[in-house]
Amino acid sequence: MPSASHRKSGRSVRIAAASFAALLLAFSGAAAAQAADITAPGGAQRNSGDRAADVRASIVDRPAKNVILVIGDGMGDSEITAARNYQYGAAGKLPGIDAPPLTGQYTTYALDKTSKLPDYTTDSAASGSAWATGTKTYNGAISVDVNGKPQQTMLQTARANGFKTGNVTTAELQDATPAVQGANVTSRSCYGPVETTKSCPGNALENGGAGSITEQLINTRADVTLGGGAASFEQTATAGQWQGQTLLAQAKDRKYNVVNDAAGLDALTVADQNAPVLGLFANGNMETRWDGPKAVQNGGSMPAISCQENAKRPSTMPTLAQMTSKSIDLLKGASKGFFLQIEGASIDKQDHAANPCAQIGETVDLDEAVQKAMDFARADGNTLVVVTADHAHSSQIIYPNSNTPGLTRTLTTKDGAPMTMAYGTAVEGKSQMHTGTQLRVAGYGPGAANVVGLTDQTDMFYTVTDALKLDRTLKPGGDPKPDTGTEPTTPPVQPGGSANGAADGAGNGAVAGGTDNSRTGGQNPLAVTGAQIGLAVLIAAAFVVAGGIVLRANRRQRGGADGVFGTLR
């Protein structure tokens, strides 16, 4: 049996090997892109050789301390490809989304509320509920099953196990994807008390329910909650301790630290159960990063366009990357670890609007956030990052400068080539529809191997909770105590439960009506570029770090002192 020091040193070696493999995987595509002429035989090849050893090294078979789940709403393969083509060129690489080395696909179907049979095209509520709770449900449901029974979410379970938690979106916080982690209601429309009384009476506070989505998000009490949706916080509670007060006043009374702009977010240094952070950066959805003309009838044959910065976006509004980076900074000191969900919401919303520039800009925005998550995970060594989507969408890349019976628009990409986008599931002026295809899911870090192959969205609940070794029987507000060692100012209610913490039965749950990664044509493939020199330096540095860790591990096995690299845990 190996000694504890041998086991620890072996783990250090495995971490070093995994980190080194990730560096090679991250940079090999960039090196090929810089060196190759895509018109030459093999010039478009992405692999730099046999990657079997790299993939083996990327499989980390041990628990994770932290999990960062990144959701691109509506981000199917077509949306990813369009963003890559536009921003980095056909032979380029999205530095964040394309970085996780282990990939698979998952199915996304919902259930019909009446027949209980598959509904092959999901909405964001049913799909989000599936990964958040491990339970299939009907379109429109927020973390309740097909019969309306509340299901505990992975964020609520992480909180119950004493982990720090975060919930970040570019949409309204009450929108489906953030809502599924912190609320349990029968209809996604029940943002505040007004809508809940009308559309989800069984969930309404005055009827003994747990309240609206906004009220339940306050009760769930994630350590960090960032997004839009400030308007719903101006509604007033209809019952309970804060009856007659606005939900924003209630949050402040319950010691939430409320910020409204990037400067306020940047100034934060603490987020815990004594002072959880609530960032409200827009009354509704946050503004997109980019804008441009929408797809229209015969737009494919019109002159090609280039995307522009969105002039309506305030300079004080944080980007998703900024929100991700700050959330990680605020959560990473947790002794047990953290769970963080990040959503780029308006890929979907701009796909609905048939606006290719805004859609692509939001994909690039998400990619920047993934880069922040991956940077942290590589340095930390104990963090699982999963990048995926909730459902596929309608945009398609078609023959350049062509038209369809639907809506089209041609863009000029990084390559200087035309790329025509088509939207064909609704007429002009109406909302484009989701599609029912399976989706890409990619992972890095401990437990990432569980995304490989074909899985279902419900598997994500178990992938995350198993990676963190969570006790799924624990309820929010119970033992063990929060990571800070103090009780919440107001203990959160159980999922779907009444304001006094009692769980609802069937009655209350009942349904109530930057870097250019493109290849340069004509470049001498043997020429040594500055990027290749930089790449060589990075790889050499990785060898030095990995070798130092291995050397230190060997010294520790012989009783030697730690070297300058410190202790990897």
Known catalytic residues are: 124
Contact, 196 vs 185, CB < 8 A? yes
Nearest to 381 by CA among 44, 63, 31, 36: 63
Amino acid type, 200: C
> Hey, what are 373's tokens?
């998550």
Task: For 467-528, give the secondary structure using H, E and C.
Answer: HCCCCCCCCCCCCCCCCCCCCCCCCCCCCCCCCCCCCCCHHHHCCCCCCCCCCCCCCCCCCC
- DSSP string for 24-47: HHHHHHHHHHHH--TTSTTTT---
Contact, 388 vs 106, CB < 8 A? yes
What's phi and psi for 259, nearest 5 deg? -125, 155
The CA–CA distances, whole Å, from 36 to 44, 82, 384, 399, 417 equal: 7, 22, 33, 25, 18
Amino acid type, 49: G
Parallel, antiparallel, or unpaired for β 396-398 and 418-423? antiparallel
3-state secondary structure of 118: strand
Amino acid type, 128: G
> What whole-number distance in Å separates Cα of residue 309 and Cα of residue 200?
39
Handedness of CA 287, 277, 251, 221 (dihedral sign): positive
Q: How many residues does the chain have?
A: 569
Phi-psi region for residue 265, left (φ > 0), alpha (ψ -120 to 50) or beta?
Answer: alpha
Handedness of CA 227, 232, 235, 237 (dihedral sign): negative
> What whole-number distance in Å separates Cα of residue 313 and Cα of residue 414?
24
